[in-house]
Structure 1
Amino acid sequence: MSKKRGLSVEEKRSKMLEIFFEKKDVFQLKDLEKIAPKEKGITSMSVKDVLQSLVDDAMVDSERIGTSNYFWAFPSKALHSRKRKLETLESQLTEAKQKKRSLEQSVEKAKVGRQDTEERSKLAEELALLRKKRDQLKADLEKYKECDPDVIEEIRQTNKMAKDAANRWTDNIFSVKSWAKKKFGFEESKIDKTFGIPEEFDYID
């Protein structure tokens, strides 16, 4: 024999509401925890959660009086609640339909002038050719950039700065060599060999 299937959450909520509608009374949680398992098959462990979900959805009213919480719900409230929910859904549906129509109109407007006509195809080909030509011209311009007077002048200035810097270091090396010869009596060839200075080392013209 197969095991009996338990109630789903929605079935529990529905049966819990039946208790309120049938008895038309005000209850405390402990009352419902006794009634629900016996009369509706809702386990006492799940009564609190089911009840709270109905309160959260405004389908059951609750009020704290002293140290106790009381719960009640009447068929008229459920009807009004469903009616409000239906009105909300209908409003959302109307809004969604209007948005859909607006999007469809925007799409139709966007299509204007974009039909695949012979003239449009011809213009598209011309545009592709012009873009290709532009890319080729940019490549040529980059190739001949070194002939640009401004670029040449910039290279000349950079070379001059490098040359001046190299000659300053050459001057410093000659000064150190002169100082070493006077201070320690070293021969110039020995200094060059010790510090790896080539024989042809000199200023850059």
Structure 2
Amino acid sequence: MIVKDLVQQMIDEDGVISVEKCGNINIYWCFKSQTLQTLYDSSEMLKKKIQDTEGDIATCKQELEKTLQLGRRQKFTVGQETYIRDVLLEQRKKTLEEIKKNSTKLQKIESIRWDAAKIQDKKQMVQLKKTQLEKITDNIEILVDYLYKKFFLQPEQIRKEFEIPEEFKEFADV
């Protein structure tokens, strides 16, 4: 099975092996010239990518040298508009502060705003807590009843000893 997968990979992805179906037999072949041509094409493509990348690097180096020579200017022009660096930095600072304030306001609003999904989630959570509370109170009542029947203790004494509130006193004679 591993050999079959390897051969299929060499056919599909690499193009190293060629296959032809003749009747009910698959014929596989690989010519040296075909492999060499594939390698040559790959090398030419890589050489072209290297040249393009070297050209990009040279352009970036020229722009960097130009920027380093000129330094940061307080006034600069983009298109037909002239900008002052300090004014833009101050505007940026104010904008960032405003964004921060507004995002905190938005978080506060989102935390107190109720939508249908949030209401449904809260309902499910309350229902779950109610079910858990009912199980706990039932278990307490079962334990009180067990102690009452096993040791002949009065339920009031048990509740007083374990500091169980009187609200749980529903079924005294179950």
Q: Which has the higher contact order (CA 8 A, sep 6+)?
A: 1
- TM interval, short-chain normalised: 0.3 to 0.5
Greater Cα radius of gyration, structure 1 or 2 = 1
